[in-house]
Each structure stands twice: as structure tokens, then as C-alpha cells.
């Protein structure tokens, strides 16, 4: 960049003074050393600033304008500082319109040159000989146009006595012009030397960069942990890295003589061929293939094909193949384990269905006969024994039903039966089931139904009843004194016509649940650690079944509780208003 700036600065300076040689004045002319030095340094520094701007950023018109400004400074600044260096008997006078025109010419041509340079950079390639020639012509025209416009802007004024020395001055000018010509000639030789030095340095730098890139490429190629191969467009391996020998078992000298199709499973050849043809069209792709190791066993490879494009054509194709044999084996083992687990789950579900049926049949007989026996005349001791039999049978039946329901939910075999039903009837029938237990424990059982709710709604009555029975049953079980309330109302206080979600609340004044237990309450087989609740322990499936059923019906459930004050379960379900068959609604 420094050499280019120096060459361009001296080129502008030489053009100016060669132009001045063509401008004859019949007076003695000499140059001020200070201004002459400034006229040399100024274009060099301005050109360097312009090149720095071009090297950093030319993406916007503003950055181009700044770069053009510095080139304009290099051209115009050199000219006018060179003119200021002239010492003669005549006074220099300028037409400022032509001065402004010279500066505009320098700026406009510089901007056009930078625009053309940026257009070549945006295409991602180095400018060709034609573009370089056009850039040179633009900058040359800008320098010459600015120079001669500026010379047209200057005029000289002097006395007749001064003009009388024209011949003597002209003779002295020959020596001065000769000296100036020597200086300019030396400058041109200096510029030529700079250009040659720049070319040599550029070539050395390009060679150094190419060697560095080659070493970097070779290092990546040789030390890549996956198999990397280079193919020609016909599909023959040209080069392979050491990982290929480690993965495939073939020596590096053996692989280049083989076609890739010779090692691939025939059933996957068409898939591999399609990916290879896509790479020949310049499209990268990945394909999984099975190849045979040199020792005979199969390998699974994930092969990525990347085209190497040069001068708009695909010259070669690189493939990066990762050995995924272990992953494929693990995946197959997981699929087999999944199938085994699903089969075991199916067998378990079938077993539970059969066993629950076989157990419930005699158990219903035990419960039924014990209920009949309780209606006969029995002694107090006998009645107590029969009640234990009846209660134990009912508890066992409830446990079997919970296990069977949870098994169906886990296997995804639980089916919903959506039909219109009476919401008021469901809630009141559920409350009636616990009236006797509440009276025996001295508990008040309240049932509150919002009058704005429609009576006929669409949903699975049996599953909603199952959830309510479980929640109210738990409330009765864990409440020793106080009251239990079952409330039903629209969610978010919606009107009856727009009601789509119904909120069910079961509140009690029982022993409550500690905060650390609430997060685990709906997990299967989980039981609260509350010491006063241990005598009520069951299977731990009731609340887990409730949550799964509510999730199936598109609802949500939550619980809040305070130890010693009570618990509140809230669940919401989408229940659209419906009409019973035969009604006018």
C-alpha cells in the first residue's frame, strides 16, 4: 500500500510538471523548495489515505465519497501546491469557477474509479486486465482533466519592462527546463522501480500466502478425524487421508485405485449416485451408506459431498465420511428395546385385564353376599366381622379398579365416551354417595352449583364422576371435623351462553398437605408423608389417575393447601352446552 501510494503520488507530480514543460512563458521561472516538497508529499499522503479507506470499506456511498475526497486532495492539492511553488515576475490570477470545475472533475472521476473497483470486489474476483485498463484511463483522465482545467483557470499579469527580458529569460529557461526534465525523468525511473518492487513483493506475498494455505489445507486434510476423500468427476478416488485407512482398513496406496461404487452396499448405490450427481451440479448433500471393510464386516457411514468449484465449473468432489456404526447399532438396540417394552406393556395390560376380571367376579360375590348377610339377624360380634369383610372387599375392589385404570391410561387404551349429560344430576348424585359417611363423622357436606351454568353439557360423564368421587372421597377421608364443599361454576365468570370451561372445586377443612408434598402429589404411587394420614394410605394412584383423565379431556388441575386448615382441589374442563335427545333446544 505504501509503495502504491508513493508510485501514484510521484505519477501525479510527474504529470503536472511534464504538463508545465508544455506551457512556455517568456520569463525566468524557478521553484520554491518548500512548496516543491509539499507538492511531492501531499499526493503521496493523500493517496495513502485513499488506499486505506478502499482497503477497509467501500460498501457504502459515504465511504466511497470519503475515498474520492482523498484522491481529489492528492490530485488537486498537488497541482495547486506545485503552482504555488512557481516563482516568476508575473502575478498569478485564478478564475474561481474554473478552479471549482477542476476540483469537481477530480472528485467525479475518482468516485467513478472507486465505484468500478467496488463492482469488481462485490463479484468476488480480482479485476481483469480490461478493468485495470479502464481504471487507469479514468484516473489518468481525471488527473489530466483537472490539470488542464486548472491551467485554463490561471492567468499572468506583469509590466512591459518585465516582458522585454523575454529572449534572455527564454535562454535561461532552457537550462531550467533541462534540469526539470532530468528531475521528472528520475521520478519516472523511481516510479518504475517502485512498481517493479511492488510486483516482486506482491508475488512473494502471494506465494507465501499460497504456501500457508496449502499447509493449512494439508493439515486439515491429514489430521481430520473422519475419512476425507477427493474424487474426480468420474467417481475415482484421487486422494484419501490417514483416517480412511483407519476406518476402511485399506492402505492409502490401495484406495486411489478403487471406485467408490465397489465398496458400497448395492442396495444403496442409487441413493449415493443421486447425491454424487447433485454435487456435480454444485449442490452439497449428505447421505448414509453401508460399506464393506477390508476385513469383510459392514460399516455405516454418514457421507457429506462437497463440490470444489473453480472458474464456474466443478473440478473435483470432496467427501467427509463419519463412522456412525456405533450410533446405528445403538439406535437399533434402542428400537428393539422399545419394541420389547411395548410388547411387555401390552402383555402386562392384557394380564391385568384378565386378572382383574377374574378377581372382581368372586370379589363381587363376596361383597354382595356380605351386604345380604348384614341385612340378616346377627350378633354384635358377627355383624362387626361381616362389616370388616364387606369393607375390606370394597377396598380391594377399589384398588383393583385403580390399577386397571392406570394400566389402561399408561398403555393409551383408555377411551372417552363423549355424550350429553346433566351437570346438576352428576354433581348431586356424587354428593349423595358420601352423605352417610359425612353423617357418621359429623361433617357438613355442601353442594353449590352456579345457576348460570347450563344443565345439559357435552362430555364424558363417567370419567368426570370418577374424578369427583376420588377428590370428595379423599376430602372425607382426611377431614375429622368441619365441612366439605363441592362447588361448580363457569371459569373466568363467563356467561352461560359463552361458557366453554367449567370449574370444579372441592374444599375441605382437613389435616392439609405440606408445601413440599404438593409438587409430587399427582405422581403415581406417591403418598404424602403426613403422619396423621398414614392410617388412610392406599395405592397412591387415585390422584395420578385423576390428572391423566383431566389431561385426556383437555382440562387442568391444581391444588392448594395449608397444614391444619384444609385443602382445595380445582380442576377445569371444556364442557360445551348441549341438548338432550327429544328436547326442543
Q: Is 502 exposed, middle or buried (0-12, 13-18, 19+ CB in 10 A)?
A: buried
pLDDT at 167: 46
Q: Compute the half-sphere exposure of residue 416: CA atoms within 13 Å on the CB side of its CA.
A: 17
Which residue, 264, 326, 327, 274, is CA-closest to 305? 274
Residues 299-308 have pLDDT tens digits of 888 888 888 8
Q: State residue 161's pLDDT score.
A: 47
**Packing angle between helix 61-84 and helix 33-56, nearest 10 degrees?**
170
What confidence score (pLDDT) does residue 189 get?
Answer: 61
- How many helical (H) and strand (E) elements, i.e. helices and strands, does the chain have? 16, 17
- Taking the C-alpha atoms of residue 340 and residue 390, their distance in angstroms, rounded to an integer, is 41
- Report pTM: 0.43
10-residue block means of pLDDT along the chain (585 residues)? 70 69 64 70 69 62 74 74 72 78 78 71 59 71 72 67 48 50 60 67 78 74 80 80 81 63 75 86 86 82 85 83 86 88 76 69 79 84 84 75 70 78 89 85 90 87 88 89 91 58 91 85 67 52 85 90 90 85 52
pLDDT of residue 532: 47
Amino acid at each position: 500500500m505504501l509503495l502504491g501510494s508513493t508510485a501514484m503520488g510521484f505519477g501525479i507530480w510527474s504529470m503536472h510538471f511534464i504538463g508545465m514543460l508544455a506551457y512556455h512563458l517568456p520569463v525566468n521561472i524557478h521553484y520554491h523548495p518548500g512548496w516543491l516538497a509539499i507538492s511531492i508529499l501531499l499526493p503521496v499522503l493523500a493517496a495513502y489515505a485513499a488506499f486505506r479507506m478502499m482497503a477497509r470499506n467501500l460498501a457504502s456511498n459515504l465511504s466511497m465519497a470519503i475515498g474520492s475526497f482523498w484522491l481529489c486532495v492528492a490530485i488537486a492539492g498537488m497541482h495547486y501546491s506545485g503552482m504555488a511553488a512557481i516563482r516568476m515576475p508575473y502575478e498569478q490570477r485564478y478564475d474561481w469557477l474554473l478552479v471549482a470545475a477542476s476540483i469537481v472533475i477530480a472528485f467525479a472521476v475518482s468516485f467513478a474509479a472507486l465505484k468500478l473497483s467496488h463492482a469488481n470486489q462485490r463479484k468476488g474476483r480480482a479485476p481483469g486486465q480490461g478493468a485495470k485498463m479502464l481504471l487507469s484511463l479514468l484516473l489518468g483522465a481525471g488527473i489530466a482533466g483537472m490539470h488542464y482545467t486548472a491551467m485554463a483557470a490561471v492567468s499572468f499579469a506583469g509590466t512591459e519592462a518585465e516582458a522585454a527580458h523575454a529572449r534572455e529569460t527564454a535562454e535561461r529557461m532552457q537550462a531550467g527546463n533541462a534540469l526539470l526534465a532530468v528531475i521528472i525523468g528520475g521520478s519516472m525511473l523511481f516510479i518504475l522501480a517502485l512498481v517493479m518492487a511492488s510486483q516482486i513483493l506482491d508475488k512473494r506475498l502471494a506465494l507465501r500466502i499460497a504456501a500457508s494455505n496449502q499447509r493449512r489445507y494439508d493439515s486439515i486434510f491429514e489430521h481430520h478425524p473422519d475419512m476425507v476423500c477427493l474424487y474426480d468427476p468420474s467417481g475415482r478416488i484421487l486422494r484419501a487421508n490417514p483416517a480412511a485407512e483407519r476406518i476402511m482398513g485399506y492402505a492409502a496406496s490401495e484406495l486411489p485405485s478403487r471406485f467408490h461404487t465397489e465398496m458400497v452396499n448395492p442396495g444403496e448405490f442409487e441413493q449415493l449416485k443421486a447425491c454424487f450427481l447433485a454435487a456435480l451440479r454444485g449442490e452439497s448433500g449428505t447421505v448414509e451408506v453401508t460399506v464393506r471393510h477390508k476385513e469383510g464386516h459392514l460399516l455405516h457411514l454418514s457421507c457429506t459431498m462437497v463440490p470444489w468449484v473453480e472458474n464456474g465449473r466443478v473440478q473435483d468432489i470432496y467427501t467427509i465420511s463419519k463412522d456412525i456404526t456405533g450410533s446405528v447399532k445403538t439406535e437399533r438396540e434402542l428400537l428393539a428395546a422399545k419394541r420389547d417394552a411395548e410388547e411387555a406393556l401390552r402383555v402386562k395390560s392384557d394380564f391385568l385385564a384378565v386378572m382383574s376380571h377374574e378377581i372382581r367376579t368372586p370379589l363381587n360375590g363376596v361383597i354382595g353376599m356380605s351386604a345380604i348377610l348384614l341385612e340378616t339377624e346377627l350378633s354384635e360380634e358377627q355383624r362387626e366381622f361381616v362389616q370388616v369383610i364387606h369393607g375390606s372387599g370394597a377396598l380391594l375392589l377399589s384398588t383393583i379398579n385403580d390399577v386397571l385404570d392406570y394400566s389402561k391410561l399408561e398403555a393409551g387404551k383408555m377411551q372417552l365416551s363423549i355424550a350429553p349429560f346433566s351437570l346438576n344430576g352428576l354433581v348431586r348424585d356424587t354428593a349423595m354417595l358420601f352423605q352417610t359417611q359425612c353423617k357418621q363423622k359429623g361433617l357438613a357436606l355442601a353442594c353449590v352449583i352456579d345457576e348460570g351454568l347450563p344443565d345439559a353439557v357435552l362430555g364424558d360423564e363417567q370419567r368426570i364422576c370418577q374424578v369427583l368421587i376420588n377428590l370428595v372421597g379423599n376430602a372425607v377421608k382426611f377431614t375429622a371435623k368441619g365441612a366439605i364443599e363441592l362447588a361448580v361454576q363457569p371459569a373466568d365468570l363467563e356467561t352461560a351462553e359463552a361458557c366453554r370451561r367449567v370449574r370444579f372445586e372441592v374444599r375441605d377443612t382437613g389435616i392439609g398437605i405440606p408445601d413440599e408434598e404438593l409438587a409430587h402429589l399427582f405422581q403415581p404411587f406417591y403418598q404424602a408423608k403426613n403422619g396423621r394420614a398414614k392410617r388412610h394410605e392406599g395405592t397412591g394412584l387415585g390422584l395420578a389417575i385423576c390428572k391423566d383423565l383431566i389431561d385426556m379431556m383437555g382440562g387442568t388441575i391444581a391444588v392448594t393447601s395449608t397444614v391444619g386448615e384444609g385443602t382445595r382441589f380445582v380442576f377445569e374442563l371444556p364442557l360445551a352446552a348441549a341438548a338432550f335427545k327429544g328436547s326442543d333446544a
